[in-house]
Amino acid sequence: MNTDYETVRKIGDVLNDPKEPLAGRFRALFTLRNLGGQTAIDCISKCFGDSSALLKHECAYCLGQMQDKGAIPALESVLRDENQETIVRHEAGEALGAIGADSVLDILEEFQHSEIQEISETCQLAIQRIQWLHSQKKHDKSSKLSANPFESVDPAPPAEETTIETLRERLLDEKLSLFDRYRAMFALRNHNSEESVKALAEGLQCSNSALFRHEIAYVLGQMQHKVCVPQLMESLKKLEENAMVRHECAEALGSIAQDESEDILKEYAKDKERVVRESCEVALDMCEYEQSGDLHYADGLIKVQEAKA
């Protein structure tokens, strides 16, 4: 999208202003993601100095979704930075995998051996994603993959089309590699049916990987189906659950935007974990957006243009 430098910078100023409401900063971030280009990347990268792990994590996510190699240096720096929160470093690793450049393999291979499980698993998945992309190019395979109706860049390709029950079994089989289970996860998401939502929601009870459970919550939020609201609420309420999982459950509830979700989001907006509190705050803004019928969540450009007028 062709937008002048000063306009992009003004949107970046909103993103990087800690005095701005968090929900408004999120909207500015997604506006920058949609605009793209190096100026937007620079604005987003500047935000890695913020105090909010949630916002920084979302910045890394957006840089990955942009798939612009110009973001690689900032993402590598975040992944290496032990002062950054695990949720932020994990997302930087996932974003490097989403960009998919050969040049990121060295750092991913280094951190696949991290003592922090969420980081090591993320980097392993990112390596496998890049290797899978290479195999597709090498063999010039005609794709048998189901279409992605959500248009996101995912950490693993969906499994080749198969039955929901078979995919459910793969999803829940903790003996399989995480990459295979992720492939089943995204294939179930792409089925986009009530039956596949129910199968995915069972994954919130899997015990061996918080990263896996957090991704389950993420895809349930993408699908926006109310049948999984009880399971998402249950996971959000679990104080012993990893904060990464609880945060993603909160955002999924905001995206699904049911009346019953609003009460629990308001309750856990007072949670002791900052990333959970802030996720509930952002989720309530998402609820309001989904229920309003407004066409623009990423409204940073509109607001800057209105200010100019």
Helix (H, G, I), strand (E, B) or coil at 25: helix
269 and 228 in one domain?
yes
Q: How far apart are CA 10 and CA 241, in angstroms?
A: 38
Q: Is residue 302 part of a domain?
A: yes
Rounded to the nearest 10 degrees, the angle between the axes of helix 5-15 and helix 22-35 is: 150
Beta-carbon neighbour count of residue 8 at 10 Å?
Answer: 24
CATH of the domain at 164: 1.25.10.10
185 and 130 in one domain?
no
184 and 279 in one domain?
yes
184 and 70 in one domain?
no
83 and 116 in one domain?
yes
Gyration radius of the chain's alpha carbons? 19
134 and 205 in one domain?
no
Residue whose token pair is 């306009």: 7
Domain span including residue 96: 1-142
Q: Is residue 149 part of a domain?
A: no
Q: Is residue 77 part of a domain?
A: yes
**Residue-by-residue pLDDT tens, the chain, 309 positions:** 567 999 999 999 999 999 999 999 999 999 999 999 999 999 999 999 999 999 999 999 999 999 999 999 999 999 999 999 999 999 999 999 999 999 999 999 999 999 999 999 999 999 999 999 999 887 766 455 667 899 999 999 999 878 999 999 999 999 999 999 999 999 999 999 999 999 999 999 998 999 999 999 999 999 999 999 999 999 999 999 999 999 999 999 999 999 999 999 999 999 999 999 999 999 999 998 888 766 456 555 555 555 554
Half-sphere exposure of 101 (CA within 13 A, CB side): 16
| Structural domains counted in the chain | 2
Q: Which of 142, 173, 194 is the last residue of a domain?
A: 142
199 and 117 in one domain?
no
160 and 133 in one domain?
no
57 and 6 in one domain?
yes
Q: How far apart are CA 83 and CA 240, in angstroms?
A: 24
Q: Is residue 111 part of a domain?
A: yes
93 and 195 in one domain?
no
64, 94 in Cβ contact below 8 A?
yes
Q: pLDDT for 160-200, tens place per residue?
A: 878 999 999 999 999 999 999 999 999 999 999 999 999 99
173 and 92 in one domain?
no
293 and 179 in one domain?
yes
